[in-house]
Each structure stands twice: as C-alpha cells, then as structure tokens.
Amino acid sequence: MRRFNIAIDGPAGAGKSTIARLVANQLGFIYVDTGAMYRAVTWKVLQKGFKIEQTEEIIQTAQGMDISLKPGENGQLVYVDGQDVTSDIRSDAVTKFVSYIASIGEVRKLLVEKQKQMAAEKGIVMDGRDIGTHVLPDAEMKVFLTASVKKRAERRFAELQTARPELTLAELEQDIARRDHIDENREISPLVRAQDAVLLDSTNMTIAHVVDHILDLCRSRVLGGIS
C-alpha cells in the first residue's frame, strides 16, 4: 500500500491519541504523539525547578535534551536522555504547565523540526494542535477532531476514575477549557483547523466509528485518488 501522512489535530481530550494509534495500527503506519514531546520538555523544566518566566533557561533545556519516542505494547513510550518518562509526563504538574511551555516560539521551532524529520519517510499518523497547519502542511489526509467540552471531560473522567478517584468532573472540565483557551489564543501556531482538514465532531460517535470513518476517508480521498 502507498505510504502517506495523516495529521490529526484538535483540542484536549478529543480522543486524538487513541484514535491516531488505532488508525496507525490498521494501516501499519507509525504513530507520533507530539503532545508527549511538549510534555517531555515541561517535565524536564520542572525537574530543573525553572519558573515559566525563565524563558531563556527553558529554551536551553529544550535544546540540550534528547527526546525519543518508541512504540510500546500499550502505546507510545517516551524517553528523555534515555530515561523512561512515559507516565511522569502525564502528571498534574506537567499538564498544568505544558500549554505555557508550548507557547514559547523557540521550543516550538525545535520540536516542529524534529516532527518534520520523523514524518519525512511518510507512513506516519501524527496528532497534535498544529500538525495540519504547520508541521505537515502537505499531509495527504488531515482531520480536525473535536467534541463538546462536557463530553471530553466525561471521557477523561471515565479514563481516570480508578487511577485518580479524587478528581472531579468539574475540575477536568475546567482544566480542558483552560488548556483549549491557551492553545487557541497563543501567538505562534494556535490551535486552529487547517482549511483542508476534515472536521469530525466525535461528541456522539464511538472510538471505533471515528476510526472507521478516518480509514474510509483515507481510502476514498488518498488511496482512491479522489481529493
């Protein structure tokens, strides 16, 4: 089968990672979670004890660290300078600060460059906020995946209920709305739907349904040669 690139963008909690991973598995493509890269930088910055205002130190940290993504049995594994940080980068502290770190232009430039390199050989499903607009503007298939804030918070709540019983639905809803606001309003590469991205609202769709729909779109628009 012809190899091509798929860009999946959208707000926090829209199901991008799960869906992108399943689409990649079906096609035999490689899945790249770019949010994990911004989270990895944030984790390292917090480890070093820097504050958000220390932009120069943050940029230097990002420039001096090695981030690698490897496929694992339960999803993508994330390594920083050889250390497995897959679960550490999902902590509340990282989630709270990541959107601030992701709004620093030099950090974005650095990570976008790495992401472009990862996709150069094609056969990549990449999810994030600026993939269709900036990272892979020539991706053969672009999807903008969204869902209502309420639905996204409910999904996160269901996912985290066992691991984090102290979290409330209201807290999750607030966190999601706060991150959306920062991501949509930052100066550099804000979260916005690429003009040529297919808009998919998954509020009333199951994961399997969304995956099938994206695969159908790939068949008709990319593999079938219809654009």
Q: Which residues contribute to the site for ligand C5P (CB under 6 A)? A: 12, 34-35, 38-39, 98-99, 102, 128-131, 179, 183
Q: C-beta of 66: minimal distance to ligand C5P in Å?
A: 19
Distance CA 24, CA 196 (A): 21
Task: Take residue 33 and report the two structure tokens written for it.
Answer: 């979670």
Shortest distance, position 39 Cβ to ligand C5P, whole Å: 6
Distance from C-alpha of 220 to C-alpha of 176, rounded to nearest angstrom: 33
Measured from the CB atom, the residue of 99 and 146 that comes closer to ligand C5P is: 99
Task: Give the residue with the Cβ less far from ligand C5P, 128 or 197.
Answer: 128
Nearer to ligand C5P among residue 128 and residue 218 (C-beta): 128
In the complex, minimum distance from the CB of residue 225 to ligand C5P, in angstroms, rounded to a whole number: 29
Phi/psi at 63 (nearest 5 deg)? Answer: -70, -30
- CA distance to 37, 66, 71, per residue, from 78 (Å): 8, 10, 9
What is the DSSP annotation of 198-227? EEEE-TT--HHHHHHHHHHHIIIIIIS---
CB nearer to ligand C5P: pick between 167 and 223? 167
* Identity of the residue, 102 or 153, whose beta carbon is nearer to ligand C5P in the bound complex: 102
The CA-to-CA distance between both ends of the chain, in Å, stands at 18
Q: Determine which helix (DSSP H) or strand (DSSP E) holds 142, and give its type and residue range.
A: strand 141-146
CB of 48 to ligand C5P, least distance (A): 19
Q: Residue 88 and residue 81: Cα distance in Å, rounded? A: 14
In the bound state with ligand C5P, the residue whose beta carbon lies nearer, of 90 and 223, is: 90
Minimum distance from residue 186 beta carbon to ligand C5P (Å): 8
Q: Which amino acid is at 143?
A: V
Min CB(140)–ligand C5P separation in Å: 18
